[in-house]
């Protein structure tokens, strides 16, 4: 087995398993939804260090705690921060390692995706990328046995991303997770205004979020196209920024958590 080793354990999140589990469970306990909620088909979650975005990410992952045995595959898409790429990149690996153990890659699903012209393999793109890795300890905590199909998304159109999502849509066993922060390094009040407008765009399933609004704009826009096609209903679970979670309000990064559930087709009654 070829495992992609953890690259940001000890930096973005604790590298000791006991500390990591305790921290995640604390976030989840604080974010637990009041009463039963519909099972989400897709989530948008932030990907900063846990001290900054962990409480917001937990608002999304708390929705999965009653689905522990129901979800067996997670389609994971996040922006490529360190290595510029065209299209979407899968890792050259069979699993991702975290302090909580190995997360296998659904190799059959990955092979299907590689038939699309916009998908390729790149160990280099994934080697130090944090946007996907930081989601794994949360998923390992709330789910039982699952595999991932992890895509680092570079220069691609929303349609190209949507095509990948459609190919691997699956049924209730498949969850889609889009990893993205919102605006970067604005003063607190300005960030609130920008991020509030971005949240409304996402709630309207409008696929024109730009990269000033969200570093994961490309996978977000791809999800918006698929969500419209499948009649998913979006819900904003949490919207904050690093000024709320870590104190400094002079230059903040925005974070939001969304859930998308199956319902009536968008725009219909």
Give me the pLDDT at residue 121, please: 97
Greatest pairwise CA separation for the chain in angstroms: 50
Going from the C-alpha of 126 to that of each of 172, 181, 212, the distances in angstroms are 27, 18, 23
Alpha helix segments (H runs only) across the chain:
17-31, 50-61, 107-113, 123-127, 130-133, 136-142, 158-167, 188-203, 217-230, 242-245
**Both structure tokens of 219:** 């996978």
Using the predicted structure, report yes or no on whether residue 266 has a pLDDT greater than 70: no
Directed axis angle between helix 17-31 and helix 50-61, to 10°? 60
- Mean pLDDT for 208-219 is 97
Per-domain boundaries in the chain: 3-262
Q: Average pLDDT for residues 152-169, to the nearest whole number?
A: 98
Residues of 53-88 as b/e, b for ≥16 C-beta within 10 angstroms?
A: bbbbbbbbbbbbeebeeebbbbbbbbbbeeeebebb
The pLDDT of residue 238 is: 97
Is residue 116 predicted with pLDDT exceeding 90? Answer: yes
Q: Given this model, what pLDDT does residue 54 score?
A: 98
pLDDT value of residue 269: 31
Tens of pLDDT, residues 100-110: 999 999 999 99
pLDDT at 36: 65
Percentage of residues of the chain with pLDDT beyond 90: 92
Percent above pLDDT 70 for the chain: 96
Give the per-residue pLDDT at 206.
96
Tell me which residue of 181, 253, 193 sits closest to 219, measured CA to CA.
181
Q: Is the model's pLDDT at 213 over the cut of 90?
A: yes
What does pTM read for this prediction?
0.95
pLDDT digits (tens, 9 = 90+) for 79-88: 999 898 999 9
Q: Which two tokens stand for residue 152?
A: 């680092």
The whole-number average pLDDT for the span 29-35 is 76
| Secondary structure of 69-124 as H, E, C letters | CCCCEEEEEEECCCCCCECEEECCCCEEEECCEEEEECHHHHHHHCCCCCEEECHH
Half-sphere exposure of 44 (CA within 13 A, CB side): 34
Average pLDDT value for the chain = 95
Architecture field, domain 3-262: 3-Layer(aba) Sandwich (3.40)
pLDDT class of 1 with cuts at 50, 70, 90: confident
> Quick check: 33 pLDDT over 80?
no
| Number of other residues whose CB lies within 10 A of the CB of residue 104 | 15
Q: Are 54 and 133 in contact (CB under 8 A)?
A: no
């Amino acid at each position: 087995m070829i495992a992609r080793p953890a690259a940001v354990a000890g930096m973005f999140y604790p590298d000791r398993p006991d500390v990591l589990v305790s921290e995640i469970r604390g976030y989840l306990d604080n974010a637990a939804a009041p009463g039963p909620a519909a099972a989400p088909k897709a989530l948008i979650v932030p990907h900063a260090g846990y001290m900054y975005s962990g409480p917001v990410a937990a608002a999304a992952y708390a929705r999965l705690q009653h689905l522990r045995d129901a979800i067996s595959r997670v389609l994971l898409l996040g922006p490529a921060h360190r290595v510029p790429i065209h299209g979407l990149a899968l890792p050259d690996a069979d699993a991702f390692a975290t302090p909580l153990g190995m997360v296998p890659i659904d190799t059959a699903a990955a092979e299907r995706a590689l038939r699309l012209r916009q998908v390729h393999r790149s160990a280099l793109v994934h080697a130090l990328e944090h946007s996907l890795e930081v989601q794994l300890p949360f998923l390992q905590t709330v789910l039982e046995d699952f595999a991932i199909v992890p895509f680092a998304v570079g220069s691609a159109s929303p349609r190209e991303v949507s095509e990948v999502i459609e190919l691997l849509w699956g049924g209730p066993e498949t969850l889609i997770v889009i990893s993205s922060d919102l605006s970067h390094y604005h003063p607190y009040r300005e960030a609130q205004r920008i991020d509030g407008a971005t949240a409304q765009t996402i709630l309207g399933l409008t696929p024109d979020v730009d990269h000033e609004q969200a570093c994961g704009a490309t996978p977000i826009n791809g999800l918006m196209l698929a969500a419209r096609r499948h009649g998913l209903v979006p819900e904003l679970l949490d919207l904050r920024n690093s000024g709320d979670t870590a104190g400094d309000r002079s230059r903040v990064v925005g974070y939001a958590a969304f859930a998308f559930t199956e319902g009536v087709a968008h725009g219909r009654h």
